[in-house]
Structure 1
C-alpha cells in the first residue's frame, strides 16, 4: 500500500526515494519531421454549457428551469477572448445529435426513452444521428445544422481551428439516421439478426432474446413520463457499448449504448485484412493506398463516411472516444482517408493502455493520445501528497520517442475538476501542475472551459454529481458564468483572485505558443539537485528546455506549505550544450517578468540562488 507523503520541508521527514535516472532526455534532431514548430493549445468546451447564463442549478432541472447554451453564444467576441487566452483549437464537445429527454417531434425527431438515457440532457457519447447536430444547441432546432455551419465559419474567422467528437465504439440504443446522405444505409439496417456476429453486421446480437432495462435509480428522478413503463423495445437484444453480452445490462454498464462491430469476432479474432510488417513506418498516403482495393467491414465504411462528411463541412479534426476499443487497423483505414483529404487534420484519441500507445500512433495514424495514465496521474498523485514529483523525469524517459504525441491536460469532461477538493483543492495549488503539464514536453496542451477561472464543480446537477461538471444535465458553470458576464466575456463578475488566475493561464499559454525551447530539448535537474542541494525540498521539481534560440530553466514548488530556498545546480552537461563560458548571466521569469535571477557559471558548472513560495513556479529565460 502506498503511504501518503505530505510535501513539506521538515528535517523529520524520511524520504524513501530512488535515484533519478541521469540519462539525457534531449530530443533528437532526426525527430523534427513530425514535430511542428510551435505548441498547440486545445480549449475544450462543453458546448451545451458554455453560453448558459442561468444560475438556478436545480438538480434534474429542465431547460426552462436551468437554461442551456447555444451555438450562437460563441460570438465573435467570445471567440476572440478564447483565442487571446492562448488557444489554437476549440474542441466543441457534444455536437453530434445524441439521445436526450425533450420533445422535438414537431421537427421529425422521435422521443427517447428515459430508461435508456443517462440524465435529462443525455450523454454526448450516445449519438443518435451522426449526420446532424444536437437540437438543444440551436436557437431554431429545425435549422440546427446551418447554425453549426455558421459557428464553423465564425471559428475560422477568429483565427481558430475546431474539432468535434466521433464515438466509433458505440452509438445510442435508439439510433435513427434521419439525415443520412443519399445512398447511406442506417446502422443495422442490413444486419442478419439471427446470429451473434457476422463481419458486415454493424452490431452484435443476443439472438431470440428481448432486451431488458437495467436495475437503476428511477429515470428522471421519478418524474412522470409516458415512455417510462419498465421496458424498451429491442429484439433481439444487442451487446452493450462497453462490451457486456447480457440482455439485461448492469447499472454500471454503458446501457444507453450498443457496441459497434468492426469485424472482431466474439472470440477476439479478426475478420479483416491486417497491415503488413513495417507499416508503422509508412505515411498516411501509403496506408490509404493499401486499403483502396481491400474489402473491409461495413462499419468501417460508415464511420469513414461520417468523418469525411464533417471534414467537408470544415471541421479541422476529431477527438475519438474510447479509441482503444476499436482495432487500430480501422484507424489506419479511416485516419488515412482523412489525412489524404486534409493533411493538417488534428486527430486526438482517448487511449489508456500504455502498451498500445505506439500501435495507435504509428499503425493507427493518430496524431495525439491522452497522456492520462502517465503524466496526468503522476501530477494528481503529487498534489494529493501520494508521490514525489521526481518520477516525472522517468515518464519523459519512457516516452521520449512518442512524447510529442501525448496530449497533456489536467481537466476535461471525464475527470474531477483541477480546483475541486477531490483533486488539487484550490486553483492556486493547481498552478504548478499547469506549468509542468504545459512546459515539460513538446506535446499539445489542453484546458477545459472554466479551468482558467478556478471552476470546482461543486454542484449536484442530478444524474451528475459534484467534482465533475455534469455532462448529463442542464446546469450552469458558476465560475465560467462570472467570466462570461451575461455575454460580455470580460470577466466582469470574477473575484480578484479569479481574474489573477485567468491572467496566469493567459501568460502561460501564450508564452508556450511562442517558445521555441518548448519544442526543443529536455533535461531534468532532479538527479543533480535532490540529494546535494540543501533546501531543495520534496515538493520541488526543476528541468531545462532549450532550442538554438532560447534557453529555459523551469522551477516549480508543489508544496502548499513551504517556501524553499536553495542553490539550484545546473550541471556541466547543460552548460556545455548551451555553450556558456564562466561568468554571470541574467535570467528573467517569463510568467511574471519582474522576477530576475543570476546564473553564475564557475569551472563549467552553474548555480542559481532560488527562493520559491508555496505553489509558485518560474520559467527563467537566459
Structure 2
C-alpha cells in the first residue's frame, strides 16, 4: 500500500497533530488472514518513501508557445499545447520542483468545438460547450483522449501512452481526471473496448429514474438551451442556433432538474445516476459503518455478491482501462456528489490491481471527510475549506494567524490524508489582484501549507513563476488561468523558453521564486520529521515580546528527527524569543541542554535552542515575509 502515515495520536492534548509512521492506512487494517489482504508493514524512518508532491498542469496550455492570446481565439490564432511538447526537459524541470506525480488535467476526450469529423469524431454543439476548447469536465469519450492534444489526432491514444512512458522514465507518476458525477451532454465513445456500452444506450427514457439507467430524465419535456451569453463570444457558427436535440431532457450535472437549466448551471453536462433515487434514498446496499476500519480486501468481498447499479460497473471498467495503460492514479472531480459506497467499490477495485494507486478526491464538505477516507478508501482529499481558506484569509489581511490553530486541530486525525495547495485550476492565481497581487506575499502561507500536515502537497503550473492569470480568454474572467479556451500562459512561457524549459527568459525575481518552491517542496517531500507529530507553538508564544503581527510557529517531530517552523506573514522583520513549553519538549524527547538549530530551507540561519528545566527557548530573527524551517541537532 502507499505509505499514508495517518495513525493519529493526539499527543499533548489540543496542541498536537499526531501522525505515526505506519506504512498501512489504519482504515485499511482488517482481516489479515484474508487471501486478498494487503500486506501490513511498518518502515523505519530512514526507509520512509517520499510524501507525494503533485504538479498539476492544464495539459492543453502547458506546452503552448503561442503568445497571441486573442479572446475566443481559435487553435490557429492562439495555438495549443500537445503531448509531444511535454518533453524530457519539461519533465526534468517538474521533477526538480520536488514533484512525484504529474496531474495531466484535461486528458480524457471532452467536448470541443473544433471539427474532427475526418477522424470519425462527431461535432459538438457550441450551445452546450463552455468556451471554444471546452470544459475538461464535460467528458465525451472516456476511452480516448482529447484530439487537440495530439500531433496526429488519429494517433492520439498512442501519443498519450508515449507521454506516460516519458513521465515514468523521469521517475514521475501519472494522474488523470475521472469525473463520475457527470459527462458531456453528447457522450459518444469511438474507442470503447468490445462489450463496453456507452452511457445511456440501454436506459428506459420514459421514466425519471430506474436503478440501471445511467441518467435521470424529465419525461415529456425536451431540453432547452439556457439563456445567457452567446457561445463563442457571439461568433457565427452553423450549430450555434440556440438549439440542442435532447428529448427527453436529462438532469444537468449539478443536479438541476429543469428542462431549461440556468446559465449558471453545469448545462454542458448531464448527471450520472449511481442508484440514488430522486428522493435521495439509495437503491443499493448501505456499507456498514464497521467497514471504516476494514481492509480493501474486506470491502471487495462485501460488494462481490451484490447486484449493483450499471453506472458503478461502467466507471470501474473505465478506471481499470486507464490503470492497465500505465496511469498511476486519479483525481476525482466533485466526489462529494457521488455516494461513498460507490467509492468503496471503485477504489478497492483499483487497489486490487495497483495497491499503490494515488486516489485524490475533490470535496468541500468537511463533515464528510472521514467517511470518504475511511469508508470510501480515498488516499487524499482537497483541504480547501480548512487550510486553503484560512491561509488565504491571512495572506489577504482578512484574518490573523490566531485563526490557524483551531483549523489544524480540526484535521488532527486525518491530516495525513489531506492534499495541501494554494493554487489549482479552480482557484484564483496568488499573483492576481483578486488574491495577493504579488506572488511573494504567499511565501509564508506556502511554507505553512507544505509543512504543517503529513499528507500530500500540490503545485499548479505557473504558480512557481508568479503567473497572475491577468487576461480574459473568452469564457470566464481573469484571475484564473482559463480551462475553457486556447491560450498561452505568459509567465509560464518564460520558463518554457521556446520548448527548452530552462527558464532563460525569467526575471531574477521569478528565478528566486521558483528556487523557493523547489527548495520547499523537496524539503517537504523528504524531511522525516514532517511525517510525524505536529505541536502548535503559536498559542504559547502569543504574548511573547516581539511575537507580534502575523507570525505562526509549530514543531514537527518523528523520533529523533525534529524541526521548528516559524513563518512571518508580516511585511516587517521580526526578532523575538521563541519558547517551547515543557510538555512539548518532553514529546520531542529534548532533555536539558543546548542544541544547534540549522535552517533546512536556505541553510543561511544557524542558532541555538536552550532547554532549561524542561522549557525550551531560542532567539529568532525573521525578515519580511520570511520563514525558517529549523532542524534541531
Deviation at 1:38, TM superposition (A): 3.1
Q: Which residue of the partner structure matches residue 164 of structure 1?
A: 176
Q: Does 1:617 align with 2:627?
A: yes
1:23 aligns with 2:23: no
1:281–1:362 contact (8 Å) kept in structure 2: yes
Q: Would you say 1:570 and 2:575 are equivalent positions?
A: no
Structure 1 position 346 matched with structure 2 position 337: no
Select the residue among 269, 272, 279 that pairs with 2:284: 272
Cα separation, 1, equivalents of 2:385 and 2:325: 34
**Partner residue in 2 for 1:83:** 95
- 2:439 counterpart SS class: coil
Match of 1:380 in 2: 392
Equivalenced residue count is 600
Matches of 1:258 and 1:171 in 2, distance apart? 6
Equivalent residue, structure 2, for 1:305: 317
Deviations 1:464-493 (A, max 9, x none): 321100000101111110001011111000
Determine the C-alpha separation between the residues in 2 that align with 1:33 and 1:176: 40
Query: In 1, distance between residues paired with 2:91 and 2:184?
Result: 31
| C-alpha distance after superposition, 1:20-68 (max 9, x if no partner) | x962314254865329643110000110000001111111111111110
Q: Look up the match of 1:39.
A: 51
Provide, for residues 522-578 of structure 1, a one-character-per-residue CA deviation record: whole Å limited to 9, x for no partner.
Answer: 0010111102x1111130000001112321010001113x21221111111232233
Aligned to 2:44: none
Separation of aligned partners in 2, 1:328 and 1:409: 24
| Alignment match of 1:411 (pick from 419, 423, 428) | 423
1:580 and 2:571 matched: no
Asked if the contact 2:538/2:554 (under 8 Å) is kept, the reply is yes
Aligned equivalent of 2:296: 284
Q: Which runs of 5+ in 2 are unaligned?
A: 1-11, 27-47
The one of 577, 592, 599 aligned to 1:589: 599
1:547 aligns with 2:538: no
Query: Conserved in 2, the CA contact under 8 Å of 1:464 and 1:473?
Result: no
Bigger mean CA deviation after superposition, 599-608 or 34-43: 34-43
Relative to the length of structure 2, the TM-score reads 0.93
Structure 1 residue 100 displacement after superposition: 0.8
Instruction: Name the TM-score, length of structure 1 as normaliser.
Output: 0.95
What is the Cα deviation at residue 605 of structure 1?
A: 1.5
Say if 1:389 and 1:541, in contact at 8 Å, map to a contact too: yes
Structure 1 CA distance for aligned equivalents of residues 201 and 589 of structure 2 = 67
SS of structure 1 residue aligned to 2:441: coil
| Structure 1 residues 429-448: aligned runs within 5 Å | 429-448=441-460
In structure 1, the residue matched to 2:123 is: 111
Secondary structure at 1:217 match in 2 = coil
Structure 2 partner of 1:497: 509
Residues in 1 aligned to 2:275 and 2:161: alpha-carbon distance in whole angstroms? 34
Query: Which one of the candidate residues 72, 78, 81 is aligned to 2:84?
Result: 72
How far does residue 390 in structure 1 lie from its aligned partner after superposition?
Answer: 2.6
Q: For 2:619, what is the secondary structure of its paired residue?
A: strand
Contact 1:37 1:516 in 2 (8 A): no
Q: What are the residue-to-residue correspondences of 1:343-492 with 2, within 5 Å?
A: 343-492=355-504
Q: Deviations over 1:69-108 (max 9, x none)?
A: 0001111121111111111000000000000110000000
Counterpart contact for 1:119–1:472, Cα < 8 Å: yes
Greater Cα offset, 312-321 or 276-285: 276-285
> CA contact under 8 A between 2:538 and 2:552: conserved in structure 1?
yes
2:390/2:407 contact within 8 Å kept: no
- Name the structure 1 match of 2:139: 127
RMSD: 1.3
Which ranges in structure 1 are unaligned for 5 or more consecutive residues?
Answer: 1-20
Residues 37 and 519 of structure 1 are in contact (CA less than 8 Å); yes or no, is this contact kept in structure 2? no
